[in-house]
Amino acid sequence: MRVALAQINTTVGDVWGNVGKMTDALERAVEADADFVAFPELTVTGYPPEDLLMRPSFIQENLEGLEEFARIVPQGITCAAGFVDLNGDLFNSCAIVSGGEVLHKYHKRYLPNYGVFDENRYFKEGSGAPMLETGGTLVGISVCEDIWYPGGPAREQALAGANVLLNISASPYHRLKGAFRERMLGVRASDYGSYVVLCNLVGGQDELVFDGHSVVFDPEGRLVARAKQFEEDLLVADLRPSESLIQRLHDPRPRKENPDREPEIVPVPHPRTAGTKNAAQPRVEPYPSEEGEVLAALVLGLRDYFRKNGFSRAVLGLSGGIDSSLAAAVAVRALGSENVTGVLMPSRYTSEGSNTDAVALAKNFGMDTRTVPIGPAFDAYREMLRDVFKGLPEDVTEENLQSRIRGNILMALSNKFGWIVLSTGNKSEMSVGYSTLYGDSAGGFAVIKDVPKNLVYRVSREVNRVEGREMIPASVLDKEPSAELREDQRDTDSLPPYEVLDPILEAYIEEDKGISEIVAAGFDEDDVRRIVGLVDRAEYKRRQAPTGIKVTGRAFGRDRRMPITNRYSERKG
């Protein structure tokens, strides 16, 4: 049995564009002599469609799109494709299509409602665990979350004799998730003695990135095929269902269990007769480093945000620091150097080294640059506020004025030329509120908002590695971080060193550990209490920040939802 996993990049709401991609992939799968073609979860609508699902017209168009696709699927080819079914309520569904008609509609049973997921808002849970019977092979069907549970439809199908467990998925990326997903799928395959085949979505959707990384595991839990990560791909693999039987004959454990219910068997009429085929070349794409996959996720997320929303050109401030350098590198890789403009906005506090580094970076990446000094505007603001601030010392107010002037300049360029402003703050800064509202936090998209500072350095070094030369200057990588908003300013004037700060933030934000637990891990209690307080107080700032790409296990926004008005605090202890 030859399967083709059509790992395509869909667009939410673009029903007919998505159907067009499905059609193109089907044609390539037919050319590859595939018997079975799988598409990702909610292929027809794109994932996640969110409140578009409240519109009856959208549901109807999605059903019409599925019907249109079904008509072109020839006899002898079976397709599994995600869509939204309407049957008294909405279901996240997988359609089984062959010979021009829809043979079966499987309704997803396990609806995730944690992290970035909100499927209980839209869908009703399904039931059953159908298996397709095609040419003597039993293929169990499930959708995304269904395979993540040790029980559920996959177990029922395996106990009933499924040779192949097929899962169509829209599993969003965060760093190292692909490796975790592979471990889980390998365990499912070896536990159930079946092939496990997963077709995953690829592409960017607002803050989410889907990494593709479709895979095939044999009945012993060994990886036999892996698609590309962060790229569209058609992964073709030959399965030998008899291997599933052999594995079960040597592993008596499943005989001790009985399925909770007898799965429905859906016969596929006119399956292709077994013939002589040249063996599909096994393909296991290499798995990148953590820094490599984060870089690829950022590039894909930014590229798709621009492409799918009809934006063409980006503008960002170039300070000569590490954050704006990485944001610029990602923008150039995603959009092309001809579509990225860097703006130098020096002040009296900007060091000559920072200006030199910003110019060198722009030259290395072939970016257009503009220079707009902020000194005249800063002087004008100070003069306007002189009487109001009379007798008061300069403080963070004057620092933030500079940041807001820069934000105004970038937004003016955006308005005048139609460019989208990329903000360049990282997760560490966003966590503790080390940013200025309507200043450095202003923008249409936040490229590295979910990248902690220490990871910013590691990914920046990865940029230089993959480019094969020093695109981000060594002086940028080596200099001490500074906002340069006052004389001799350093980030460590306000924060612990990032080597201390980032692990505390990860423990508190991503792992929900309390102060006592973090202190018990070896961190200074005063540092922990201060950082936790900064995180809690900055929630109102984060709510006003632009969207950006999720790359960690728990990002701000739809992933971590904390009330702004909130009197609970461990700091009182």
Cβ-Cβ contacts under 8 Å for 404 (sequence gap 6 or more): 436, 438, 439
- Residue 330, both tokens: 């990602």
CA–CA distance, 474 with 367 (Å, rounded to integer)? 19
Order across the sheet with 223-226: list the strands: 223-226, 215-217, 195-200, 164-169, 137-143, 131-134, 265-267
Catalytic residue among 79, 94, 144, 199: 144
Is-catalytic flag, 264?
A: no
Closest to 80 (Cα-Cα) out of 128, 44, 118: 44
Is-catalytic flag, 94?
A: no
Q: How far is CA 93 from CA 66, 122, 136, 437, in A?
A: 11, 12, 25, 43
- Residue 265, both tokens: 């068997």
- Is 335 in a helix, a strand, or coil? helix
Is-catalytic flag, 41?
A: yes
CA–CA distance, 94 with 81 (Å, rounded to integer)? 5
Q: What does the chain come to in residues?
A: 573
Q: What is the DSSP letter of 262?
A: P
- Tell me, what amino acid is at 554? R
- Angle 7-12-14 (CA atoms, 0-180°, nearest 5)? 95
Catalytic residue among 108, 308, 449, 453: 108
Catalytic residue among 21, 41, 462, 506: 41
Say if CB 367 and CB 328 are below 8 A apart.
Answer: yes
Q: How far is CA 555 from CA 178, 453, 528, 562, in A?
A: 17, 14, 20, 12
Q: What is the DSSP string of 273-289?
A: PP---PPPPP-BPPPPP
How buried is residue 87: exposed, middle or buried, by Cβ count under 10 Å (0-12/13-18/19+)? exposed
Q: Which residues are catalytic?
A: 41, 108, 144
